[in-house]
Amino acid sequence: MSQFDVVVIGAGPGGYVAAIRAAQLGFKTACIDAGVNKAGDAPALGGTCLNVGCIPSKALLQSSEHFHAAQHDFAEHGISAGSLHFDAAKMIERKDAIVTKLTGGIKFLFQKNKVENFFGFGSFKGKNGDFWQIDIDNKGEKSTIEAKHVIVATGSVPRPLPLVEVDNVNVLDNEGALNLTEVPAKLGVIGSGVIGLEMGSVWKRLGAEVTILEAAPTFLAAADQQIAKEAFKYFTKEQGLNIELGVKIESISKEKKGVRVQYELNGAKKDETFDKLIVAIGRIPNTQKLNAEAVGLAKDERGFIAVNELCQTNLPNVWAIGDVVRGPMLAHKASDEGVAVAERIAGQKPHLDFGTIPWVIYTDPEIAWVGKTEEQLKAEGVDYKKGTSGFGANGRALGLGKAKGTVKVLADAKTDRILGVHMIGPMVSELIAEAVVAMEFKASSEDIARIVHAHPTLSEVVHEAALAADKRALHG
């Protein structure tokens, strides 16, 4: 029976990074993963993120943005595109090629770092002295390996909607939404979170009539509400997404010509039939096949594996990271936890601050934030100051034809330490990194205000917002 220092269950952004870092630190490391490619005929590393999540969705977003720009924006630049034709199947083919390249890249990294990869579902069998026994089920072919340390990184799965079963034909989850080869005339989306907004945006740009049904009364409740309200205006009034808030779904039925959704909105009964329906109501931890109960691996009241601040479970030398534990369900959070756990096993003392983890929604305009929202600061009674600046007068944004959006800096009223930065606008997924670095180094708004920002760049809006926090904005 093969024995390892570290065995990682799951090869998503948390698991494969944890395995690589453990191997770099000199541990004999293995990673178990059951992911398969789109055709279902070969293993595919990378988890949800690389296969049916972060990466393919960004590929589709970019393709749809190009098509929309050719239709609506090129003429302003003096470019006549003539008659446009859109090939959805070709767009999906490009997306699939990107996924294949990246998942193959993880296999190469495993080989380079001497990480042994096992295909199949990993589950706890028991303990043999100081070693945990892990069963591997490869389509019925079973084997067992042993590990001194186990890192559980099994990720999450879409939260099911009790009213209807996802078949990925007409009722779609994130995977089905990424593989449509024709543009639906009418697309319904249940949930206005990241997946709902991004997939709704893709198919709206390509010609679908999109209705998003959200149970919560507040749009993007986790985001700063000044930014959320600005986003809602862009998405609804300018882009034509029909976003309904405070919706109570009463029934969903699969019909011959689509999916019928009956719901209540502001006391009124509504009845809509969609060609396709995307269910995007969040995700839940993926623990079903771990056999956790057999070894007493503890979970919390929401089904997440219970861990402390170091990602240690209740079992000795068993760790858990990423979507399967508390905290934001973000790929970069999982990766950083994976690195931290590998280093803790090596006796190091890394630190991961949940307060400086950035959030991004890749709509157009993009939305990004880090730290506290203004609503949180008010609720906590924190004395703060704020500065805002818009992209409307930014030379680079105007040149790009993307001069919509705002940057908002929140700082402590007494110490000037930055407490949160919130953005909506072009490429804010990249701009947010400056705010993360600043907050990690406990910077003040004055620190950003006194740093020279290149001109003309989008980052000047961050600079201007920091200046505005001290009431000394130069261009606004």
* pLDDT tens digits along 178-202: 999 999 999 999 999 999 999 999 9
pLDDT score, position 81: 83
CATH assignment of 171-281?
3.50.50.60
Confidence (pLDDT) at 463: 98
Q: What are phi and psi of 190, to 5 degrees?
A: -100, 110
Q: 2.60.40.180, 3.30.390.30, 3.30.450.20, 3.40.50.10860: which CATH number matches 358-469?
A: 3.30.390.30
Specify the pairing of strand 268-274 against strand 116-119. unpaired
* Mean pLDDT of the 206-214 span: 97
pLDDT in the model for residue 82: 84
191 is in an annotated binding site: yes
156 assigned ligand-binding residue: yes
DSSP assignment of 145-211: EEEEEEEE---EEEPP-TTS---SSSEE-HHHHT--SS--SEEEEE--SHHHHHHHHHHHHTT-EEE
| 212/210 Cα distance (integer angstroms) | 7
Mean pLDDT for the stretch of residues 249-255: 97
Q: Is 25 annotated as a binding residue?
A: no
Average pLDDT over residues 214-221: 98
Q: What are phi and psi of 194, to 5 degrees?
A: -60, -50
Residue 203 banded pLDDT, cuts 50, 70, 90: very high
Q: Is 122 annotated as a binding residue?
A: yes
Tokens 């209740």 belong to residue? 314
Q: Is 154 annotated as a binding residue?
A: yes
Do the annotations mark residue 155 as ligand-binding? Answer: yes
Amino acid sitting at position 83: S
Q: Tell whether the model's pLDDT for residue 432 goes beyond 80.
A: yes
pLDDT level of residue 146 (50, 70, 90 thresholds): very high
Q: 197 a known binding residue?
A: yes
Known binder of ligand: residue 282? Answer: yes
Sign of CA dihedral 11, 12, 18, 20: positive
> Is residue 195 a known part of a binding site?
yes
H helix count then E strand count, the chain: 14, 22
Query: Which pLDDT value is given to residue 5?
Result: 98
**Average pLDDT score over the chain:** 97
Question: Which tens digits make up the pLDDT trace of 259-305?
Answer: 999 999 999 999 999 999 999 999 999 999 999 999 999 999 999 99
Sequence-ordered list of residues with C-beta below 8 angstroms from that of 317, at least 6 positions apart, any chain: 132, 148, 149, 150
> Tokens for 100?
């294949």
**Which residue of the set 85, 453, 455, 463 is catalytic?**
455
Distance CA 256, CA 74 (A): 40
Residue 173 has pLDDT above 90, yes or no: yes
| % of residues, the chain, pLDDT over 90 | 98
CB-side exposure of 141: number of CA atoms within 13 Å? 5
Is 171-281 in the same CATH topology as 2-158+284-346? Answer: yes
Q: Sketch the domain layout of the chain as residue ranges.
A: 2-158+284-346, 171-281, 358-469
Q: Which residues of 212-228 are buried (b: 16+ CB within 10 A; e: fewer)?
A: bbbeeebbbeebbbbbb
Active site residue 66: no
Q: Is 267 annotated as a binding residue?
A: no
Across 236-348, the runs of DSSP E, i.e. the strands, are: 242-244, 247-255, 258-265, 268-274, 276-279, 283-285, 318-320
Give the pLDDT confidence score for residue 1 in this predicted structure: 82
User: Is residue 476 predicted with pLDDT exceeding 80?
Assistant: no
Write out pLDDT tens, residues 288-297.
999 999 999 9
Q: Residue 22: is its pLDDT beyond 90?
A: yes
Q: Is the pLDDT of residue 449 over 80?
A: yes
DSSP codes joined into one string, 6-68: EEEE--STTHHHHHHHHHHTT--EEEEE--B-TTSSSB--SHHHHHHSHHHHHHHHHHHHHHH
CATH topology of domain 2-158+284-346: FAD/NAD(P)-binding domain (3.50.50)
471 is in an annotated binding site: no
Q: What is the pLDDT of residue 400?
A: 97
Is 80 exceeded by the pLDDT of residue 112? yes
Residue 64 has pLDDT above 90, yes or no: yes
